[in-house]
Amino acid sequence: MSNTITKFTHQTFQQGKIYFALAHKQISTRLRNFIYPTLEFQTQPLSPGILQKMQKRIDDIMERDLADGENGIYPVNIIFDNPWSDFFSYYPNIWLDMPTVWSRIKQKKYQEFSPQINTQNYPAYYLQNFHYQTDGYLSDTSANLYDLQVELLFNGTADAMRRRILAPLKIGLEKLFSGQKLETLAPQNLRVLDIACGTGRTLKFIRATLPKAALYGVDLSSAYLKKAHQLLSEELGELPQLLQGNAEDLPWRDNFFQATTCVFMFHELPPMVRQKVIEEAFRVTKPGGVFVICDSIQVSDEPDFSPMLKNFPAMFHEPYYQSYITDNLEERLEKVGFINIATEVHFVSKYWVACKPVEKVVSR
């Protein structure tokens, strides 16, 4: 009976998020067309077949999310986690910001920042209004709105896609500590780094899954790290160590982490920077450790979704997305030395799970 109630509650919760996101998109599109009737995106229409496939994938990821909770991969209660305080506090600001966003799109201003924001010492590729966000990733306002915006973008499935990293992360660590229970390990023996941790949503889910682990996060944005600290301070247990830094030059010694993760970052990097970040992830991961990436699906994963993938950078400012959707990340991972590379696809996200080989001991 409890499983039936949980399933019904989960379905109701998720359907509510999906319907709300769809209603938000429809109303905002109508309002945009009224205010800026000449503002048009060069997009391709999606066929009924594509929309049916997308709905099937949403149903599948929701079932998988609930199953992993019920099977103990993570506590089932985290599938009901939602930033309600942020929603009620900041959702009106999304609407208030829309005219500024539409004006920026119409004027093709994609590198626009408020005068009080110091843009020095950031890589040029980072100084973008990704998704046409006001101030890119460099303001408190952007950090406060980000999680809500992403949930709306993905029709209420963003957190479910983030949680798809938890099973391979946990399985990879169990292989590394064969014969030992993860909950019995001392924190100094179980260190996990989330690269480009943003507002801390992924770290929050990792904390629920690995309550004894020592968690670390790194991000270029001090505003997003502040938001992450706020979110993670609400949780029980030791706070993750959050550092401002560039993923191209991680501020930790070699072989420091038993696991590293990275969620929704690679599609916003130029190709050579993707390679550098993978090199750094390999360097700081302990031999035998695991590296888990979550990002957008690519053209080869679902050729029928090609129109949707082409529409994404047309509707949102994503200057490196076209190169990403045809990039061979498996080849990049192998190039630096990762082995046993596996991939999965859930809804519109793709996952790479890679292991760092155990160093061979040569006897004399």
Helices of type H across 44-178: 48-70, 84-107, 140-153, 158-162, 166-176
Q: Where are the beta strands (DSSP E) in 148-256?
A: 191-195, 214-219, 241-244
Structure-model confidence comparison of residues 272 and 8, the more confident one: 272
Q: What pLDDT does 362 receive?
A: 36
Among the ranges given (138-142, 173-177, 184-188, 239-243), the one the predictor scored with the smallest mean pLDDT: 184-188
Share of residues in the chain with pLDDT > 70 (%): 98
pLDDT over threshold 50, residue 364: no
First vs last Cα of the chain: how many Å apart?
62
Under the banding of pLDDT at 50, 70 and 90, the label for residue 140 is: very high
Per 3-state DSSP, the chain is made up of helix, strand and coil in percentages (nearest 5) of 55, 15, 35
Given pLDDT bands bounded at 50, 70 and 90, which one contains residue 186? confident
Look over the chain and give the mean of its residue pLDDT values, rounded to a whole number: 93
- The model's pLDDT over 221-275, given as tens digits with 9 standing for 90+, comes to 999 999 999 999 987 778 999 999 999 999 999 999 999 999 999 999 999 999 9
Worst-scoring range by mean pLDDT, 137-146, 179-188, 264-273?
179-188
pLDDT in tens, 284-334: 999 999 999 999 999 999 888 988 999 898 888 999 999 999 999 999 999
- Using one digit for the tens of pLDDT, what is the confidence trace for 308-319? 999 898 888 999
pTM for the model? 0.95
**Mean pLDDT of the region 76-101:** 91
Q: Is the pLDDT of residue 2 over 70?
A: no
Instruction: Judge whether residue 281 has pLDDT over 70.
Output: yes
pLDDT digits (tens, 9 = 90+) for 151-179: 999 999 999 999 999 999 999 999 999 97
What burial class does residue 136 get, using C-beta atoms within 10 Å of its C-beta: 0-12 exposed, 13-18 middle, 19+ buried?
buried
Residue 29 to residue 304: CA distance in whole angstroms: 25
The reported pLDDT for the residue numbered 363 is: 38
- pLDDT confidence of residue 313: 86
Segment 189-198 mean pLDDT: 97
Examine the pLDDT at 119 and tell me if it is beyond 80. Answer: yes
Cα(268)–Cα(274) distance, integer angstroms = 9
Q: Residues 283, 228: contact at Cβ < 8 Å?
A: no
